[in-house]
Amino acid sequence: MASSSSACSYINADTQTPRRRHTVSGTGMTASSPLKVIVVGAGLGGLACAIAIARKGIHVVLLEQAHILGEVGAGIQIPPNSTSILRNLGLFDKFQDVIVWPQSVFVRRYSDGQVLGTTPLNPYLTQRYGSPYWFIHRADYHRILHDAAVENGVDIHINSRVVSVDETAPSATLATGEVFEADLVITADGIRSRIRDQLFPELNDDVYVASNVSAYRACVSGERMQSDPELRDLLDDPGATSWIGPGRHIMAYPIRDKSIYNLVMLYPGDTAPGIWNSRGDIAEMRAEYKGWDPKLTKVISMIEDCLTWKICYVRELPTWVSASGKVVLLGDAAHATVPFLAQGAAMALEDGVTLAECLDRAHSKADIPKLMHLYEKIRKARCTRVQLGSMQNGDVWHLADGPEQQNRDSLMAAEEAKRVEGAKVERKIPEPSMEIPSYNLKNPLFWSDDEFQPWLFGHDAVKTADLYLTQAGY
């Protein structure tokens, strides 16, 4: 597990020069009145946002509390609504050496591995929506974004924990007492955002909510699996496999040139919320999936180490924008979701490019509050739909054996039969829209649903922002 869960250390805290009071100097808008932006948090969301804004010629300071930058955890899925953004940011080619191109997502019955449903990924999604679906190691994803941020002139400060934000200035104060001032503060400090709590004290503690499941996270050596003829196809025919069962599921897929098989294993355990990445008990973990598909349990028997934590989410907030309109939330800080549609980071990237489009339309600093409310208007309903869809998907996957589960499986079987018969691949890039799909999807495999799939994967965040900002007179 060490190779897969370690944080990468491409920035060293020692290289930082101590400073006291800073005014972020910008080059965007007009030279006489440059725009200045602070982003708090260098996770995937904060980095992507900083890159997108810097590419508009605006100077960005990125403040990150960690003294070594990196991402904990192993795999992450990058869906087409994110790969299109990476292309837009000029980063598509930089990913080619470190991604796995999966063919499909298979949903299998927990007990015997029978395929219940399949969503074809590559090349199908590119043919449909113009962009592919990838798997990647989180550390590789983070490193590429970090390098791109540096190349685009983002001023990154590590070891810089923000303890408070003055939303009227606006400014961000570090634990050291240093104060950074700008025209806008973007808060990308994650699901347990302290700044969110400070901006909206009336929301109390019930914003950050524990779901009814916990997760184990583990990796198995791809080499070891390759040497077992029964397991080889999980790597040779790369795809994601989700084994779904009562109250539990396991999502697994290969990363890093298939040298790692990454597993996220959901179970109804009650680990304490807020304590992330505690070491899991291997025997207890194996017991959760006793009697599951023998092929899967063989993979599980190869796990030597696992981490566990409670899956939490952020309840829909009344607003993402501070009273002054000069501090906004982004990514998990605004709308962390249970991960059952693999869309959390994708939503953070969409937020980031939307904010960049908004700032690009500012005629003067006075436009910022109005543009931030437009940012919220463009993004919030979509993120909330993804949050609710993710929870709904968990409910569908976790059905107990019985009539509802049988109904789900026969609907999936009917969709699978249609797919195998050879549904035509039609180009389905939807027009930019803020409409959201209904909550009664026809296909219990949401990723394949005729209404939900184009809405989710075919979304172009830049075009959508462009359309709505233009309509709003910007």
Question: Tokens 């932006």 identify what position?
Answer: 37
Nearest to 381 by CA among 309, 436, 432: 436
Q: Is the dihedral of CA 422, 423, 429, 432 positive or negative?
A: negative
CA–CA dist 448, 94 (Å, integer): 29
Q: 26, 28, 170, 331: which one contacts ligand FAD (CB under 6 A)?
A: 331
**Of the listed pieces 35-43, 91-99, 241-249, 398-406, which binds ligand FAD according to CB under 6 A?**
35-43
* Phi, psi of 104, deg, nearest 5: -155, 165
Q: Does 317 bind ligand FAD (CB under 6 A)?
A: no
DSSP E strand boundaries for 84-130: 99-100, 104-109, 115-120
Q: Which stretch binds ligand FAD (CB under 6 A): 1-9, 19-27, 59-67, 357-365?
A: 59-67
**Dist. CA 325–CA 329, nearest whole Å:** 11
**306 contributes a contact to ligand FAD by CB under 6 A:** no
297 vs 73, 101, 231, 352, CA distance in Å?
22, 25, 11, 40
For ligand FAD, which residue has the nearest CB?
43
Q: How far apart are CA 185 and CA 163, in angstroms?
A: 13
d(CA 149, CA 41): 13
- Residues 361-390 as x/- pattern, contact with ligand FAD by CB under 6 A: ------------------------------
Q: Does 132 bind ligand FAD (CB under 6 A)?
A: no
Q: Any contact of residue 80 with ligand FAD (CB under 6 A)? A: no
Residue of 401, 219, 375 whose CA lies nearest to 305? 219
Q: How many CB atoms lie within 10 A of CB 238?
A: 19
Token code pair at residue 78:
């990058």
Task: Pick from 7, 8, 13, 66 the residue near ligand FAD by CB under 6 A.
Answer: 66
**Taking the complex as a whole, how short is the minimal distance between the CB of residue 148 and ligand FAD, in angstroms?**
15
Pair 45, 149: CB distance under 8 Å:
no
CB of 44 or CB of 60, closer to ligand FAD: 44
- Residue 213 CB, shortest distance to ligand FAD, in Å, is 10
41 binds ligand FAD (CB under 6 A): yes
Distance CA 411, CA 417 (A): 10
- Select 102 or 120, whichever has its Cβ closest to ligand FAD: 102
Nearer to ligand FAD, 41 or 222 (CB): 41
Instruction: Give the nearest distance from C-beta 340 to ligand FAD in angstroms.
Output: 9
Which amino acid type is present at position 461?
A
Nearer to ligand FAD (CB atom), residue 8 or residue 467: 8
Sheet holding 248-255, edge to edge: 115-120, 104-109, 239-245, 248-255, 260-267, 208-221, 306-314, 278-279
Binding of ligand FAD by 140 (CB under 6 A): no
Q: Which residues are CB-contacts of 30 (< 8 A; sequence separation ≥ 6)?
A: none
| Among positions 28, 46, 325, 458, the unique one binding ligand FAD when judged by CB under 6 A | 46
Phi, psi dihedrals of residue 167, rounded to the nearest 5°: -80, -10
In the list 4, 77, 242, 271, the residue contacting ligand FAD (rule: CB under 6 A) is: 77
Q: How far is CA 213 from CA 11, 247, 282, 301, in A?
A: 35, 8, 17, 22
Number of residues that bind ligand FAD (CB under 6 A): 30
Q: Is 354 in the site for ligand FAD (CB under 6 A)?
A: no
Least gap, CB of 237 to ligand FAD (angstroms): 20
Residues 256-275 contacting ligand FAD, CB under 6 A: 264
Identified binder of ligand FAD from the candidate list 1, 37, 40, 158, rule CB under 6 A: 40
What's the closest the beta carbon of residue 158 comes to ligand FAD, in angstroms? 9
- Tell me which stretch binds ligand FAD (CB under 6 A): 106-114, 187-195, 320-328, 378-386: 187-195
CB-nearer residue toward ligand FAD: 155 or 367: 155
- Contacting positions for ligand FAD (CB under 6 A): 40-46, 63-66, 76-77, 161-162, 188-190, 194, 215, 264, 331-332, 339, 342-346, 348
